[in-house]
Structure 1
Amino acid sequence: MDQVGPPEPVRRALPTVVADALERIWDGATADDLESAVLDFKEDPAHTPTKNPDAKTTQTLVSAATCFANGSAGRGFIVFGIADRTPGPAAFNGTGLAPTDVEHRIFAHTRPHLSVDAWVETVHGARLIVIHVPAGLAVHTGIDGVVRHRVGDSCLPLAGPELDALTRLRANPDQTARASDIPVTQYDEEALSTAADALQAETPDLTALLTALNVLTGDGSPTVAAEILFHRRPAGRPLARHVARPASDGTGGEVRTTEFHAPLAVTTGLLRDLVRDGVGNSVPVDAQDEALTNALLHRDWTGPDPVVVYQSHALTRVSSPGGLAPGARADRLLSGPSQPRNPCLMSAMQALGLVEWSSRGFDRMWLAMLAAGFEPPVVDARPDSVDVTLFDGEADLGFTRALSAVRTEFGRGITRDAATLATLRYLLSHADLDLDGAARLQQSTEEDARTLMTWLTQRGLLHRTAKRRNRWRLSDRTLAVMEAA
């Protein structure tokens, strides 16, 4: 009688971010170009000229898994069986590895042990292994004992203050990943329907829905994240409150208050639309969206207080319960490691399309405000709350014209981060900038500030003064471009 091996695990729903990338590779893209903070592709070393493909396989899987577990995106996916630098159908060379073997290798060779979920997907005739790496609850290392984390599409070593911050964060576990006391029979039908539509689920199976969102505990119980997403708040305990003062002087007029008791899966869209309609101020929509998303995702969900949005013609202020996440600093919001307080909830919100897969809220808030010619956000971080205020006012159209000219001359990508915009904005009205000032302006260490200033100098935007090497000004080329704008 033929020996029959263990059955392969039941297929999961293929995440959209994975399915879309695989189709783009089949159409001619390279996997390497499509990797991100939540997606990685690996070729089976059995297809490469490697002396010990088995050991290489283990090293590859463990390194990729620990990087995602230590990252800030909330979860990650590894697709094993794709040649990451080969375009088109030839990239789909597949793998014969068993999903259970993948799970065992990663578990056995990580400290502390890391449990992942792996399953087989057959795509365009190729047998692939999709590996879901959940949000880490500790700082994980692999075979070599080195701590690495996912930054964009790269796996980088983590040490020093950033490692200390991650260690402190992981010592404060995700409260939204705990088991909830609310039975699923009390979940809101509209919220569940909204989630099913977002996932394009063919059947309204509740267990399948919660599994796809990764909001079940190890024993299959719904988490607090599931409760937040799908359970309606009782009367007197709104999830969010919107306060609008429509008078143009910001001091008079009838105040309109709207409270939201619907689950987060529904409230997010409703509140975002109301904030966008607002009261007619000129605060950039992207900045308001990021402030709202940041408050809903990273608030302290252990308390009953709502997120409060106040809008007038003069400003938009978003207040969220709880201080900054452990390890975060008010003077390092643009450069410190992204540290989500609630990875389980964040991952589910990303899967539902309610937030982007890779988003640094504070950086994007600064970027949106500065690019539109407004003052940067003002953040008031207290132990029990965080207020983000976006001020309306007269936009600096001179800077926006100069910025447009710089992007045309040097390429749009060179001004894609808030630290660069803050630097250009300062130097447009000041003769020069020293290293200490650059670090404070960019909310970074002096080492990181020097790296950015050196890069901007190499690209031709800045000029390092001859007498003092740690002082910079706008280059003659940049000045000419800005003055002509």
Structure 2
Amino acid sequence: MATQGFGSQHETIILDALKKIEQGATADSVESEFLEFKEDRAHDPQAKNSRADLIEKVIDEVVCFANSDHAWGYVVIGVADKVPGREAFTGTDMDETDVRDKVFARTKPNLRVEVEPLVFAEKRLLIVTIPEALTLYTRAKGQASKRVGTRCVPLSQEERQAIVYARANPDYMAKNSTHTVEEISLDVVNEARRLLANRRKASGIDPAVPETARGLLRELGLINQNERLRKAADILLLPPPPPLITVRHLWRPFPGADPHVTEIAEPIISALPHIQRLIARYSEQDVKRVRLDGGQEIAIPRLPKEAVDEIITNALVHRDWLSSQPIVVDQSPRVLKVWSPGSLPVGVDKDRLLTTQSVPRNATLMAAMRALGLVEESSRGFDRVWASMIRTGRDVPEVDVTDVSVEVIIPSGTPDTDFVAALLRFDEEFGEMMNSVNVLIVLWHLWEAPIITEKQVMEKTQTAKTEAKELMAALCEYGLTQQIRDAREWVLSEKSRRIMGKTEGKTLASVSIGEWLLSQLSDGASISAAEAAEEIGVDRKEITEHLRYLRTLGRARIDPHGPQRGSATRWIAGS
């Protein structure tokens, strides 16, 4: 076996994969976030335009690797991807200069790859090396994708902008570490190996992971092309230097009481499950039990595990690691508060937590944690927190944001067990659509309030007007809500009211807010905006806007015998 022209830079990634193929594996089973194989079928008489098609596929893969979280990779030309053993090595006679020039000419901005030959199993292969990318790359006509696992996923405009911004503002986590691979403990390496294998197996990928620590770290993107550890490896796999700590946990048996303090000075890979176990230990008692229609009971935990895990993980991933301050978890039987240093990631607004695709502050760290299954592939996380809280009959979290910190507060409170039971009946009736956090938000509002307006839908789901309108149109189409004639207002459908057990009591199904206000005024009542807002369940400003509109029609006026401005103002029928 010869490896002519094969540099040491490639040996540990490519040569190991080639050996596995030679020993009986298929190329597609050893592909990774860094490695792709392509067959050259130019000598196959049944493969028309195969060389031109191959060049296009190679360019697609190059762009895909360049836009990945790791921003580099390798394409090996001359290997069939589904043939095991030595027969997989079909070889290629493509000219390395021609491949390099075509990639350069057909990418924007022009991407200069390295292309060199390799003789393996007596066949000539080509190794295309994508250097670490410094910006977003596209095909000449603008097409762009991103390597996720072993797939190329098309990029949305929002994702393209995020890549451009992130690479214009280099990730601190991608910088070189002063530590070495040998400093990482064997227990930590084995835990990372276990997590990666489980993640790969769950994704339907060959669960085999690199046998060496260096190979494992390379697959996680924690070693750069110069074989140096990245800063992300320090945070994820090494304990903080004394006296720094990773997480401080405060347990208060009663709100405001002196806390019992636990300090965790561990790498994230062990600190995350440690703090999760600690929170669970202090909240292990069920708050309430819900009896279903058939007599079966389900337990409602004191704190929803999914919400807690998302908040803790977000704090670790998105915090400002340039700060020496730890994450602080302040827990009592009634409230959990998670404080982390650093403001929200770039592009995220407090009022758009559910809908904004953020630019990760620590992209390299996040990519490694994603590969280990410690964070989700593509979700903001807050949507699952909201859904988990509503599904257990609780209000959504409070988020306090400053220029230097983010604090998320979730209440244990007293879960609304009637609402939880109603949701289970909705699940049986409507199925998959009940997994939508937006549907849950609307139902949670209408559980307490008789009506929801377009403005409220936008504010509560954090969506734009068009998206809110389409959401409510879908809910009406599926029979969960009904629109009040031509008003941009909705109420529960009769079917939903039966499911919720709201067969009695007030309903505004037949009138809009404006009509309800007008009927009250026509009956001789005086109305304050605050009282009407509480009665209907909408914002006081919306009530005031309706009353002002009725005033322009001569149907309402401010009571001349009371305050003319302020919250004490009362309205009466127009003269």
**TM-score class, shorter:** 0.7 to 0.9
Q: Return the alpha-carbon distance in structure 2 between the equivalents of residues 207 and 275 of structure 1.
A: 34
1:181-220 matches, within 5 Å, as 181-199=178-196, 205-220=212-227
Shift of 1:441: 0.8
Q: Return the alpha-carbon distance in structure 1 between the equivalents of residues 73 and 461 of structure 2.
A: 29
Is residue 2:490 matched to residue 1:475?
A: no
Structure 2: which amino acid aligns with 1:327? G
- The TM-score with structure 1 as length reference comes to 0.74
1:354-373 matches, within 5 Å, as 354-373=374-393
More deviation in 284-293 or 55-64?
55-64
Any unmatched runs of 5+ in structure 1? 24-37, 84-88, 118-128
The structure-2 alpha-carbon separation of the partners of 1:261 and 1:116, relative to structure 1 and needing over 3 Å to count, comes to farther
Give the structure 2 partner of residue 10 of structure 1: 15
Q: Return the alpha-carbon distance in structure 1 between the equivalents of residues 262 and 114 of structure 2.
A: 42
Structure 2: which amino acid aligns with 1:238? I
The structure-2 alpha-carbon separation of the partners of 1:344 and 1:394, relative to structure 1 and needing over 3 Å to count, comes to same
Give the structure 2 partner of residue 286 of structure 1: 306
Q: Return the alpha-carbon distance in structure 2 between the equivalents of residues 208 and 460 of structure 1.
A: 54
Any unmatched runs of 5+ in structure 2? 116-125, 198-207, 286-301, 504-575
2:458 to 412, 415, 439: 439
More deviation in 434-443 or 198-207?
198-207
Q: CA RMSD in A?
A: 4.6
Structure 2: which amino acid aligns with 1:208? G
1:158 to 156, 159, 164: 156
Give the structure 1 partner of residue 534 of structure 2: none
Structure 1: which amino acid aligns with 2:271? T
1:169–1:325 contact (8 Å) kept in structure 2: no
The structure-2 alpha-carbon separation of the partners of 1:298 and 1:188, relative to structure 1 and needing over 3 Å to count, comes to same
1:390-469 matches, within 5 Å, as 390-411=410-431, 413-468=432-487
The structure-2 alpha-carbon separation of the partners of 1:279 and 1:403, relative to structure 1 and needing over 3 Å to count, comes to closer
Q: For residues 49-93 of structure 1, what are the alpha-carbon distances to aligned partners after superposition, in whole Å with 9 as ceiling and x for unaligned?
A: 99855555555565577568668899999999889xxxxx9xxxx
Shift of 1:257: 1.0
Count residues in correspondence.
439
Give the structure 2 partner of residue 250 of structure 1: 255
Larger radius of gyration: 2
2:59–2:103 contact (8 Å) kept in structure 1: yes
Shift of 1:480: 2.8
Structure 2: which amino acid aligns with 1:219? N
1:346-361 matches, within 5 Å, as 346-361=366-381
Shift of 1:357: 3.5
Relative contact order, higher structure (CA 8 A, sep 6+): 1
1:320–1:386 contact (8 Å) kept in structure 2: yes
Shift of 1:11: 3.9
2:70–2:364 contact (8 Å) kept in structure 1: no
Shift of 1:359: 4.0
Give the structure 1 partner of residue 234 of structure 2: 227
Q: Secondary structure at the match of 1:10?
A: helix
Is residue 2:272 matched to residue 1:268?
A: yes
Q: Return the alpha-carbon distance in structure 2 between the equivalents of residues 77 and 481 of structure 1.
A: 56
The structure-2 alpha-carbon separation of the partners of 1:328 and 1:348, relative to structure 1 and needing over 3 Å to count, comes to same
Q: Return the alpha-carbon distance in structure 1 between the equivalents of residues 373 and 327 of structure 2.
A: 20
Shift of 1:463: 2.7
Q: Return the alpha-carbon distance in structure 2 between the equivalents of residues 177 and 240 of structure 1.
A: 23
Q: Return the alpha-carbon distance in structure 2 between the equivalents of residues 136 and 212 of structure 1.
A: 17
The structure-2 alpha-carbon separation of the partners of 1:370 and 1:445, relative to structure 1 and needing over 3 Å to count, comes to same
Q: Return the alpha-carbon distance in structure 2 between the equivalents of residues 64 and 472 of structure 1.
A: 48
Q: Return the alpha-carbon distance in structure 1 between the equivalents of residues 144 and 305 of structure 2.
A: 38
Shift of 1:362: 0.8
Q: For residues 415-439 of structure 1, what are the alpha-carbon distances to aligned partners after superposition, in whole Å with 9 as ceiling and x for unaligned?
A: 2232221112112333332322211
2:139 to 142, 147, 166: 142
Shift of 1:45: 12
Q: Return the alpha-carbon distance in structure 2 between the equivalents of residues 353 and 402 of structure 1.
A: 33
Is residue 2:345 matched to residue 1:325?
A: yes
More deviation in 415-424 or 354-363?
354-363
